[in-house]
Structure 1
Amino acid sequence: MQAIYDRLTRTAIHSVKPENVATFLGRPLHPNYRDEIGNRFDTRIAGTRIKHTMGPVSLKTYDKHGFILRIETTVSDVSFFKHYRKVEHRDGTTETKWTAMKKGIYSLSPLREVLHAANRRYLEFISAIDTPTAGIEALRKVSASLRDGEHSYPGFNLFADEDQTLMEALVRGEHCIRGLSNKTLRRHFPQKTSAQIPRTLKRLRTHGLIKKVGHTYHYYLTRLGRTIAMAGLKVKELVIIPQLATALS
């Protein structure tokens, strides 16, 4: 496991951004967020540890003696998380609404579900970044132009500025939670008109990188889409930028 864990460690430290940490914990990252958020790597007697922190919550990955991969999420203030529960007002009325968890035994069951979901999201994330590529066939599919009826949609070039920006937008935390839409995608491409964005979404969908949710206008990454997007970011963050920095220093 040591060889796998070493590669996973390097990738996680460089690739996990604040918005990713928020996504693991099921929260959007608001621009006015002021608490601590970030990554930390430690070496201990029993092994190494990666720690992702957001306020009172920590998501940790341990390498136990080079044989066991342990992932856990801990929280020192459960009110950080929200869930649907009954709220009693001072006037005696009650209502069920989305609000902060209470500190007490009552919150153990919903807290377990929230922390379990955080571990699952993190496992899905690292399984994608630790996969070298989706294979020659997958790369060929996303790179080639495809036709849908009378329309042709060009493939993706992970070295092109526009496609790099698109991949970075796809893995942003808020899109993983709420999905991608015409409106949210346009924020990353202000130079495009509202009529051009649907073609970009259709291009992503035709190549199998996103899927539509029911009868809505929201899209989510497919497994292939997540793998391709993370592979593109991994190449940029761990290969291209370090190599250029070394060569030009």
Structure 2
Amino acid sequence: MLLTNKYADKIHGIITCYDRMIIQGYIPNWSHAEAMTAYMKLNGIRIFDYPTSFSQPLTEQVRQNAEKIAHENGMEIEFIRKLHAFRKDDRIQNIIAETGKTEGLIHIFSAMECCNTYRPWHDKTTGKTFLKFDQSKCLHYYFYFIDRELGLCYLRVPTWPPFRLQFYMNGHNLLAYKLDKKQLSYRMQDNAFLEISDIETAQKLSDRINPQGLHKVLDVFARRYSPVPESLGLGYTWTVQQIECATDIMFRKPEYLAPIYDEIIHTAIYTVKPDNIATFLGQRITYNCTKEIGTNYNQRILGTRIKHHMGDVSIKMYDKFGCVLRIESTCNDISTFRVEREVQHRDGTSDIRKAPLKKSIYSLYQLFTILKSANYRYLEFISSFDDHSSGRKKLDEVSHSRREKERTYRGFNFFDSRDLSVLEAISKGEYMTFGIQGNPASSILGSFRLLRNFEINGFCHFPRMLMAFFNTSSASWASRNSRLRRAISFCSSEA
């Protein structure tokens, strides 16, 4: 039985959708050194003119376009001197809070970052001149904006060829737009839904992924913020660089999730093995497997998180805002997954066979099915854990002192030798049928106060006449001892 069925009365529902999505745009004719060399030769440009007369005008075009956009929107480009010590997301949230913007350009950052580029090279052995791959630092612009459909996004634009773009969006914002369009009510905090009025319809909307529409939107952003390719008659191809798929179980109250989550995460630390991780992620462990497989447990300010990873794919679980149990798959290279698809061969033929998933954004629908299945396999696994949360709650209750009729009765200390010996004694099988009789009763319990402690903490129940008898001071010890034996017998049979 899944957690969602077991605790159906404590949850609003379960929803799966894409979370963090990082998409890379590249110009096919400039994507690698050989292609760039062929492009320059085809257009009659000298190879050694690449860093000067070819690249510099293009760099200046990108810079002028960024300054023009900043001027039109009445803002200044903020240069980040220490990139690792600066949190762009926090700065953007502060700007949104100050300006109250809900759509359009929010801010522009600039920073010096590493980028892939090329440098001219002449091979004296072959006598050929060509471009070689190189890495260097150049100025990058970050355009943060709020799109009506996609929500808060950014586009990173480098100022050096080959102008590889990086686009960020969050799938939860896209789903929120679809829910608004269908006039479905929901509660949302940051990148998580806390409640949705119609879960079934919301899941159908999340399953409908439109790569063609996304492609058109990305092309519009590229033309607006990176004008160089269009001015040269070139275009961008979009691929998936990193992606996250989240399955959220929305609990009604934080106190419903807390005991369940603690039990699950502490059990998962010791239970999940490499074979299980491979099964979750749809991978195989072969004799020549070189992928690192492991589990990490992190305790952060916001809470705890457990992460299982295998190569470029991982799955993690954590509590979001205390009331959402999130299972999230992350993939840094979607070609890790193998699917049945049409494969084109060099001789012009094609056939259907298992092959790595294409990195194109047109694989998003197939990828969603894969990652969603991984999340549900993990959900099925943790649903098989025994739930000891109710036992922990009862243990907590009997360990605390209780007050009744202006009198305090201490709780049981399971680490105290006397309390432990009493509990061990009355739980022995020899006393289960007829109870504790004779001298064992006096030696084990000793006094009525301890017996009363058992009743207060819910271990046994007493007849009213027994309580009246113990309050009678004239009763002889013999009769008290006799009735004590009968009471212990009664309590043992009740237990």
Q: What's the TM-score, normalizing by structure 2? A: 0.26
Which structure carries more relative contact order (alpha carbon 8 Å, separation 6+)?
A: 1
What is the total number of aligned residue pairs between the two structures? 132
Q: Does 1:19 align with 2:275?
A: yes
Deviations 1:108-128 (A, max 9, x none): 111110000000000000000
What is the SS of the residue equivalent to 2:286? coil
What is the SS of the residue equivalent to 1:73? strand
Select which of 339, 353, 371 maps to 1:97: 353
Shift of 1:43: 1.5
What is the SS of the residue equivalent to 1:106? helix
Residue 140 of structure 1 corresponds to none
How far apart, in 1, do the equivalents of 2:292 and 2:312 lie?
9
Deviations 1:45-92 (A, max 9, x none): 222111000000010101123322111101000111010111101111
Deviates more, 1:64-73 or 1:120-129: 64-73
How far apart, in 1, do the equivalents of 2:349 and 2:271 lie?
47
Residue 7 of structure 1 corresponds to 263
Q: Does 1:114 align with 2:366?
A: no
How far apart, in 2, do the equivalents of 1:39 and 1:129 lie?
18
Q: Does 1:75 align with 2:331?
A: yes
Higher strand share: 2
Select which of 282, 291, 296 maps to 1:35: 291
Shift of 1:8: 0.7
Contact 2:260/2:387 (8 A) holds in 1: no
**Map of 1:156-171 to 2, 5 A cutoff?**
none
Q: RMSD of the alignment, in Å? A: 1.3
Letter in 2 for 1:14: Y
What is the SS of the residue equivalent to 2:262? helix
Select which of 114, 118, 127 maps to 2:383: 127
Residue 173 of structure 1 corresponds to none
Residue 194 of structure 1 corresponds to none
Deviations 1:105-153 (A, max 9, x none): 2211111100000000000000002446xxxxxxxxxxxxxxxxxxxxx
What is the SS of the residue equivalent to 2:384? helix
How far apart, in 1, do the equivalents of 2:387 and 2:357 lie?
36
Q: Does 1:52 align with 2:308?
A: yes
How far apart, in 1, do the equivalents of 2:329 and 2:386 lie?
20
Residue 167 of structure 1 corresponds to none
Contact 2:281/2:314 (8 A) holds in 1: no
How far apart, in 2, do the equivalents of 1:74 and 1:57 lie?
6
Letter in 2 for 1:79: S
Give the gaps of 5 or more residues in structure 1. Answer: 133-249
Deviations 1:154-179 (A, max 9, x none): xxxxxxxxxxxxxxxxxxxxxxxxxx
How far apart, in 2, do the equivalents of 1:29 and 1:13 lie?
20
Deviations 1:175-219 (A, max 9, x none): xxxxxxxxxxxxxxxxxxxxxxxxxxxxxxxxxxxxxxxxxxxxx
Residue 160 of structure 1 corresponds to none
Where in structure 1 do 4 or more consecutive aligned residues deviate above 4 Å?
A: none
How far apart, in 2, do the equivalents of 1:130 and 1:83 lie?
35
Contact 1:48/1:62 (8 A) holds in 2: yes
Contact 1:48/1:64 (8 A) holds in 2: no
What is the SS of the residue equivalent to 1:129? coil
How far apart, in 2, do the equivalents of 1:85 and 1:129 lie?
37
Shift of 1:15: 0.4
Shift of 1:31: 2.6
How far apart, in 2, do the equivalents of 1:47 and 1:64 lie?
8
How far apart, in 2, do the equivalents of 1:64 and 1:43 lie?
14
Shift of 1:102: 1.1
Q: What's the TM-score, normalizing by structure 1? A: 0.51
Of all paired residues, the percent bearing the same amino acid is 52
Letter in 1 for 2:364: L
Select which of 71, 75, 87 maps to 2:343: 87
Shift of 1:2: 1.3
How far apart, in 2, do the equivalents of 1:65 and 1:40 lie?
21
Q: Whose Rg is larger? A: 2
Letter in 2 for 1:56: D
